[in-house]
Amino acid sequence: MSPPEDAPPIVVERLTKVFPGKRKRPDKTAVDDISFNVEKGEIFGLLGPNGAGKTTTIRMLTTMLIPTSGVAWVLGKDVTKEEVAIRKRINLVSGGERGLYYRLTGRQNLRFFSELYGIDPKTRDRRIEELLQLVDLTESADQRVEDYSRGMKQRIHIARSLVNDPEVLFLDEPTLGLDPEIAREIRALIRRMAGMGTTILLTTHYMFEAEELCDRIGIISEGRLVALGNSLELKDSVNNATVIHVETREDPYEAIETLEGMDGVIHVNSDRVPGRFIVRIQVDHGSDLLTEVNEAMRGLRVLRIGYDEPTLEDTYISLVSGHER
């Protein structure tokens, strides 16, 4: 079986990965019967909590893992049987600091990985200069990677992933652990790559990142794809939920405990920001709980209370917690 000639660069059909249990432990289904496509030039995001199956999906699509069942084609090639043909035309960036040879310079790392892709020396040297420019590391190209800052390491990671001019790029939490300024630079870089026609599949924990970057988002929970669409479609998909937004001066932890046990409450999320606490309570659309919420906040200085539109994060929490129930 093969996909049609004009099939999108990534086609996933009923993909499943089960890791056999060891020492009498049960088998673990990491990815459970998921299907989706990624169109050419699209930035597609996979969102999900830790252990949801995002990285396992990426590993299957980058040929590092063989699916237990189902099929996936990347650039028209089967990820199980045609791994070498796929590897020539894709690349992968994993988040975090690992994945580079620290004793080599940035340029030596790029050169080494270029050779693994069999790029001819003239093209290799030209491309390395272009990539160093793209990630703004020309001046530090001859420093050892061990002397790079975290942001520089992540930028050289991205440069490394572009040595073979990939048609499809997989980014597994590319801004993990980066400070906001560097994360913003990386996001700008990702947009630039998509602008150059690269198809990008990325995983992230950051909702704003997914909302800012992705044309479409798949939400994955416990190995299953629970929602798929652009951020507006996803928000619409949970329009049966309403959000009550509360801001207090004091820590509302007791009120949160009360609210979490209340009928009609889907999820309660709280954040501390300078000078106040923000509580977002997702409630069933039909439940008018404003009075009850006000009651629960009794004794606290409430700065603001009212209904709000669900954000992508609210949608995500609603979908994931709904699925986990």
Which chain residues interact with another protein by CB under 8 A? 17, 19-20, 56, 59, 62-66, 83-84, 87-88, 90-92, 94, 96, 98-104, 108, 111-113, 115-118, 144, 160
Nearest-angstrom CA–CA distance, 94 and 91: 10
Question: CA-CA distances (angstroms) from residue 58 to 15, 124, 282, 286?
Answer: 12, 27, 31, 39
| C-beta closer to another protein: residue 21 or 299 | 21
Nearest to another protein of 111, 224 (CB atom)? 111
The DSSP element (H or E) to which 248 belongs, if any, is strand 241-248
Least distance in angstroms from the C-beta of 279 to another protein: 39
Residue 87 CB, nearest approach to another protein (Å): 4
Q: Work out how close the CB of 101 gets to another protein at its nearest, in angstroms, rounded to a whole number.
A: 6
Tell how many helices (H) and how many strands (E) occur in the chain.
Answer: 11, 14
CB of 91 to another protein, least distance (A): 7
Report whether 105 contacts 145 (CB < 8 A): yes
How many residues are recorded in the chain? 325
Nearest-approach distance from CB 16 to another protein, in angstroms: 13
Measure the CA angle with vertex 65, ends 59 and 67; round to 5°: 105
Query: 316: Cβ–Cβ under 8 A, 6 or more apart, which residues?
Result: 47, 207, 219, 234
Name the amino acid, one letter, at 207.
Answer: M
Nearer to another protein, 103 or 249 (CB): 103
- Minimum distance, C-beta of residue 1 to another protein, in the bound complex (Å): 20
User: Are the C-beta atoms of 10 and 2 separated by less than 8 Å?
Assistant: no
CB-nearer residue toward another protein: 168 or 194: 168
Which of residues 30 and 210 has its CB atom nearest to another protein in the complex?
30
User: Which residues lie below 8 Å from residue 197, measured CB to CB, with a gap of 6+?
Assistant: 40, 41
The two tokens of residue 114 are: 């270029």
* Cα dihedral 310, 311, 314, 316 sign: positive
Helix (H, G, I), strand (E, B), or coil: what is residue 165? coil
Helices 121-134 and 150-161 cross at an angle (nearest 10°) of 140
Instruction: Give the residue with the Cβ less far from another protein, 94 or 248.
Output: 94
| CB nearer to another protein: pick between 16 and 270 | 16
Beta bridge partners of 29: 18
Q: Select 61 or 183, whichever has its Cβ closest to another protein.
A: 61
| Least gap, CB of 17 to another protein (angstroms) | 8
Least distance (Å) between residue 247 CB and another protein: 42
